[in-house]
Chains A and B, each alone.
Chain A
Amino acid sequence: MRLVATLLFASALVCDAAEISAGRWEGSIQIPGREQKLIVDLAQAKTGVWVGSVILPGLDVKGAALADITVKNSDAAFTIKNALSGPQIGQAKFRARLNTKGALAGDFLQAGNTAPFVLEKTGPPQVELPPQSSVVAKELEGEWIGEYELLGYPRHVTVRLTNHAGGGATSEFVVVGKETNNLPVDLVTQQEDFIRIESHETGINYEGRFRKDSDKITGTFEQGPLEIPLVLHRAKSAS
């Protein structure tokens, strides 16, 4: 009987040790010629869904959201949503397994390169949740148009802001130059008179200040290092 109890207890221990748990995991990636510090925060919501964020000191990555998180017993995999990525190189990925010492060890894949990493649990998770779009003021809703010039060529911009019941605002963000670019917008936020529209995938943002008296938004079109003044006027309605 005592033997059975011992076996059951031991089996529970093994089971516990073999399962990845929520927490802050710290360690490093052994990139050739560069040991890269890595901090991963993993947590499980009440719904059972895993959320997480990552810190890569020295690479300007702090609290980047993790995506496509899968945790199954001792195996985990996840990607970094908006860092160390690009249209040509895809997303950075982690594949990990809990080893017998309780460390999370695996491979880091970025731009086709692969390097091993080892993480140890150092405390409870401190997941940074990605910012959410806010509701914008009623008078900002609708279509806005403007124009800027880049290296002698005009670009026409259309922004269409829409509030949604129970959620933040969304925006269409279209730039027409030689081609028409319908930019994917991740985030729309309003703080006081300031409205900010972000397209993380393209690195293009717009930030402007709404002037109620003139009914226009005076701001800056940001494209990578470029900051170009851009004033948006309310589009005249078709009627």
Chain B
Amino acid sequence: MKRLWLAVALMSLSAAAFCDGQSMFRGDAIHSGTYASQAPREFHRVKWKFPTGDRVVSSPVCQDNVVYFGGDDGNVYAVDATTGNQTWKHATGGPVPSTPAVADGVVYVGSYDGKFYALNAKTGRTKWKFATGGERRFEAKGLNGLQPKNQTMADPFDVFLSSPVVAQGAVYFGSGDGNLYALDAASGELRWKFPTGDVVHSSPAYGGGVLYFGSWDSFFYAVDAATGKEKWRFHGGEDALIHNQVGFQSSPAVFNGVVYTGCRDSNLYALDAATGKENWRFNNELSWVITAPAVAQGKVFFATSDSSLYHVVDAITGKPVLRQQSKAYMFSSPAVAGDVVLIGVLNGTLEARDIKTGELLWDYQIETSKQNKGWVLTADRKFNNPMLYYSNWREAPVVGTERQFGIGAIFSTPLVVNGVVYFGSTDGYLYALE
């Protein structure tokens, strides 16, 4: 009996520890993308699903058995991790495709209304809020070859907002106004802001007193977290022609003195964290790397958009370890949970892969994806591009993208707590699978 009690106590202790370790985007400040809990190697059932009023692009985080996430319906949600019942919701003035960070009883999150919120984690009441220079999506003339060429267009694939990281008593996040902000976590007072040349929707990683993040101005930055002074910058690719192969939308991970980041120029980069010098790059032949890489067991895990490939490469050399063909674009970031890697796919499927072989262990297809209204997907769940992108004129490509996303796309990065997998979908639900 005593042993049983001890075991239960240990389990609950470790459960709490697990949950506490999942309180910001990618699990921790360095964005390792690894989770202490073992993910299920078999799919058993949907534990619950929680409805919202619009797409759920944000990734869930967990603290004290409460799951927090943002909704494109403008709300920040707190949901009981066990029951799936709503604890509270807090309305903002715009969609919330940013992932909250929870620290010291406060939920930090940004909204498309251009404000950054600090909410009481128990009640959802406002602690403070801070107005940035305003949000916007990346935009360019003739973006992606759309017509008319001289028209400035917002990028429909710029779906995320920067997710905050909390360290040194400050909260750090990027903004569509081009700045990286450092606010006092307790008061919301501005400590400093660091300007870049374009939209910052990459989420900063924090390691060794330094913040690492990319901007759509084609540069990747390392900034001193205490002072906001630039330590170094790295120049990614440019695309003056159609602005397709430019910008850091991916969020970095920093591990063992190396920063790993994807880029829209189709490379995954490994940069020396101290100097910004390129250690290696892994080119994906015109296919964006939007996913934030996960780093575990001396390997880097990431996935691509158009080529829809799941890659594992050696963290030191960048040499390929394995790759697997998925069926559609991946913007969701891989979550390493025990010997399973989870990743969301934009065709409305969550994939669970074996960490060693990359083989698909199981997948879960959202009901909207199964219905396949308007034949957004082919019969084998690839995107049916001729039915989506039949014209590059007027708003047709944007409508096509909306239809594509409407299939139940999973942008959200899965969270694993106590063997339960949480993620959001554009069908408007937050899912808990076990």
Chain A: residues with CB nearer than 8 A to chain B?
Answer: 31-34, 59-61, 83-86, 88-89, 110-113, 115, 151-152, 224-228
Minimum distance in angstroms from A153 CB to a CB of chain B:
11
B239, B242, B374, B391: the one contacting A34 at CB < 8 Å is B374
**Residue of chain B at shortest CB distance from A152:** B237
Given A111-B378, A151-B239, A225-B146, A89-B371 contact (CB < 8 Å): no
In angstroms, how far is the closest chain A Cβ from the Cβ of B245?
6
- The B interface is mostly helix, strand or loop, or mixed, namely loop
Task: Point out the residues of chain A lying under 8 angstroms from B1, CB to CB.
Answer: none
Q: Give the chain B neighbours of A84 by CB distance below 8 A.
A: 386-387
Contact A110–B375 (Cβ < 8 Å): yes
Select the residue from A34, A84, A89, A226 with max chain B CB neighbours within 10 A: A89
B 119-149 to A, binary, CB cutoff 8 A, 1 in contact else 0: 0000000000000000000000000111000
Give CA–CA (A89, B382) in the complex, Å: 9
Q: How far is the CA of A224 from the CA of B387 in the complex (A)?
A: 16
| Interface range on chain B (Cβ under 8 Å from partner) | 20 to 34
Interface residue from B144, B373, B379, B390 paired with A59 (Cβ < 8 Å) = B390
The residue that B372 contacts in the complex, of A59, A89, A113, A224, with Cβ under 8 A, is: A113
Known: A32-B375, A113-B375, A226-B242. A86 touches B385 (CB 8 A): yes
A31-B374 contact in complex given A60-B391, A228-B241, C-beta closer than 8 Å: yes
In the complex, chain A residues whose CB is within 8 Å of the CB of B380: 112
Contact partner of A85 (CB less than 8 A), chosen from B144, B146, B377, B386, is B386
CB contact list, B71-105 vs A, under 8 A: none
Q: Are A32 and B390 in contact (CB under 8 A)?
A: no
Q: Which residue of A lies closest to B382 (CB)?
A: A88
Residue of B nearest to A108 (CB): B375
Residue in chain B with minimal CB distance to A222: B145
Please give, as numbers and ranges, the residues of chain A lying within 8 Å of B377 by CB-CB distance: 111
Nearest first, the 6 closest Cβ-Cβ pairs linking A and B are A225-B145, A112-B379, A33-B373, A111-B378, A60-B390, A34-B374
Contacts of B286 in A (CB 8 A): 151
| Given A84-B386, A111-B384, A151-B237, residue A225 in contact with residue B375 (CB < 8 A) | no
Contact residues in B for A227 (Cβ distance below 8 Å): 145
